[in-house]
């Protein structure tokens, strides 16, 4: 009997060790209080956190500091505020666009004189200047701003930009370029000169698109399937790879680019209809699937260094409307093949919840069930 018990105990210990070694370990995070939405900016050492409806706080990480500092925005933004790459905050108010450096009073810029409709702050461009969108019955108008000329209505000799009400606007981080899905297909506008230059990916009407990091191309879904590149300098279309962007109204779209040669981390519908995270070579040459299985995988986010990839996993029907929970995972490309680590679980499918990488990617922030969580990835060991 004693020998049998000893054998059973040894087997139990062995099974426990195997499960411990093979199960995705969790990442420890700090709870930084209540949060409804979170806004970030690639490379910025900070976050904008909505603590209560309309009440935003600025979480900053001074260089060399071990703890963040918090600062309440001195005004209630109309819509979402935005961070720029210089670590400043912009928001739309009753009297124009505010620029807040964190000290003193905000600097206010009056709205465009020719704007008559409701305005929305789209974001900040490559030069950390605000871009405004004005509601218009014949397609929303866009206003870009320069230090020399002030507000400029985005237009070309043939006419102005007209953004459909159901289209969002993409801004490039390093080039005077923006894009939206227009009536003929995705449009890219280069506004480094006046008038601007318009290029159209005709009949490419997928829900989403992605700029390449160098700003030389806009990646769009093909007419039937596949991913195409609208080459901005050469003004032509070319095929990039098989696949799609895995569009789903139930989860936010997300994509990122890492590596050299660069790879696009995005989402695709697999042959069984599940969302899977894939990596596609930007220069052509194919792709490889990062996730597998009969669960939905989506929301890929890549750290600025390219070392880390976060994504979500959940079990839900793409055409359903039932509430679901999602698990967040973090993968380390320097982790010598070890499995992704579990960040935690939360109510799924909500926009502006993160995860977002901060600064050089050493911290990761996300909202889980109304709480802001932040993990310091530099302290995460590369082995279980």
Write out pLDDT tens, residues 56-109. Answer: 999 998 777 778 999 999 999 999 999 999 889 999 999 999 999 998 999 999
Which token pair is 182?
């227009």
* Consecutive H or E run containing 9: helix 2-22
CA distance 296 to 249: 13
Residues, the chain, total? 384
Q: Give the N- to C-terminal CA distance of the chain in Å, as an integer.
A: 36
SS3 214: coil
Q: Note whether 218 and 211 are within 8 A (CB).
A: yes
SS3 2: helix
CA distance 256 to 302: 5
For residue 15, pLDDT beyond 70:
no
Q: What is the pLDDT of residue 378?
A: 61
Where helices occur in 137-280 by DSSP H, the ranges are: none
For residue 384, pLDDT beyond 60:
no
Strands 150-153 and 263-269 turn out to be unpaired
Query: pLDDT for 173-204, tens place per residue?
Result: 999 999 999 999 999 999 999 999 999 999 99
Which token pair is 226?
């596949």
Instruction: Residue 296: name the closest of 339, 264, 323, 267 by CA.
Output: 267
Q: Is 67 exposed, middle or buried (0-12, 13-18, 19+ CB in 10 A)?
A: exposed
- Please give the model's pTM, rounded to 2 decimal places: 0.89
Q: Note whether 88 and 80 are within 8 A (CB).
A: no
Q: Note whether 257 and 266 are within 8 A (CB).
A: no
Grade residue 259 by pLDDT with cuts at 50, 70 and 90: confident
């Amino acid at each position: 009997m004693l020998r049998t018990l000893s054998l059973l105990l040894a087997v139990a210990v062995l099974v426990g060790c195997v499960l411990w070694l093979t199960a995705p370990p969790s990442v420890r995070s700090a709870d930084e209080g209540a949060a409804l939405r979170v806004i970030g900016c690639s490379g910025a050492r900070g976050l904008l956190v909505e603590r209560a409806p309309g009440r935003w706080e600025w979480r900053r990480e001074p260089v060399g500091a071990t703890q963040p500092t918090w600062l309440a925005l001195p005004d209630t933004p109309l819509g979402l505020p935005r961070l720029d790459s210089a670590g400043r905050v912009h928001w739309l108010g009753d009297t124009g666009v505010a620029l807040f450096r964190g000290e003193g009073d905000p600097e206010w810029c009056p709205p465009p004189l020719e704007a008559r409709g409701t305005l929305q702050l789209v974001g900040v461009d490559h030069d950390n200047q605000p871009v405004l969108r004005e509601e218009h019955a014949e397609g929303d108008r866009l206003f870009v701003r320069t230090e020399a000329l002030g507000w400029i209505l985005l237009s070309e000799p043939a006419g102005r930009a007209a953004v459909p009400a159901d289209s969002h606007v993409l801004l490039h981080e390093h080039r005077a370029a923006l894009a939206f899905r227009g009536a003929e297909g995705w449009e890219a506008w280069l506004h480094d000169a006046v008038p601007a230059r318009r290029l159209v990916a005709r009949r490419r009407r997928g829900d989403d698109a992605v700029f390449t990091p160098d700003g030389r191309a806009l990646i769009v879904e093909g007419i039937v399937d596949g991913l195409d590149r609208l080459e901005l300098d050469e003004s032509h279309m070319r095929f990039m790879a098989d696949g799609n962007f895995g569009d789903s109204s139930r989860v936010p779209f997300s994509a990122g680019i890492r590596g050299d040669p660069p790879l696009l981390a995005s989402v695709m519908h697999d042959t069984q209809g599940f969302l899977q995270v894939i990596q596609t070579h930007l220069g052509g040459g194919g792709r490889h699937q990062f996730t597998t299985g009969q669960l939905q995988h989506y929301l890929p986010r890549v750290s600025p260094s390219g070392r880390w990839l976060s994504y979500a996993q959940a079990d839900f029907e793409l055409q359903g409307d039932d509430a679901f929970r999602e698990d967040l995972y973090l993968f380390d490309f320097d982790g010598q093949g070890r499995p992704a680590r579990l960040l935690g679980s939360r109510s799924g499918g909500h926009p502006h919840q993160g995860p977002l990488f901060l600064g050089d990617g050493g911290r990761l922030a996300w909202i889980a069930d109304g709480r802001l969580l932040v993990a310091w990835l530099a302290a995460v060991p590369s082995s279980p």
